[in-house]
Amino acid sequence: MTSISGTASPVEQQLVERFLVMYQRLNRDNLALLNDVYDDEVLFQDPLHQVRGIAALTEYFAAMYQNIDYIGFDMQQVLLVPSQAAITWRMQFQHPKLNGGRLISVDGMSFLTFSDKVTFHRDYFDVGQMLYEQLPLLGSAVRAIKRRAGV
């Protein structure tokens, strides 16, 4: 169960709740759901990509869903203040070319700004945990480096 705390208005809380529900339902067949929570000029960033506008965001998600067998989000905590939210989550996904096609878990956080819809969305997560550690040769090297660094 997602814990929501903060001081935002009921309208802002409803938007964030719609955002959370959308990510529980989102898949390759219903990408139009993005229009319900994102502004037409949204700026979306993650450690690997940056896209501007709902059309570009929809294309980004369409490409992502083409390459994965499964993706799901466990939204954990939400800190909500006027016009902003921070959401911690755990993403699980399966990609046929990563980790032998087995499930991969990645912890992350999303920072949102919004008015009537989300205008800015930035995801923070460990790209090594998501990608580099999952590659056959590079993965063992990255894990060894992290162990030596005490990470």
CB distance 101 to 94 below 8 Å: yes
Euclidean distance between CA atoms 16 and 39, whole angstroms: 13
CA distances from 125 to 23, 33, 87, 131 (A): 17, 24, 12, 11
Range of the domain at 22: 3-126
Overall number of domains in the chain:
1
Whether residue 110 is contained in a domain is answered as: yes
Which residue's structure tokens are 């990510």?
Answer: 23
CATH code, 56? 3.10.450.50
Q: pLDDT tens digit string along 12-51?
A: 999 999 999 999 999 999 999 999 999 999 999 999 999 9
User: What is the distance in angstroms between the CA of the first residue and the CA of the last residue of the chain?
Assistant: 28
Which residue's structure tokens are 């902003």?
Answer: 84
Whether residue 101 is contained in a domain is answered as: yes
Whether residue 145 is contained in a domain is answered as: no
- Indicate the pTM of the whole model: 0.85
Q: pLDDT tens digit string along 111-135?
A: 999 999 999 999 999 876 666 565 6
Which residue's structure tokens are 């939204």?
Answer: 75
Q: What is the pLDDT of residue 151?
A: 64
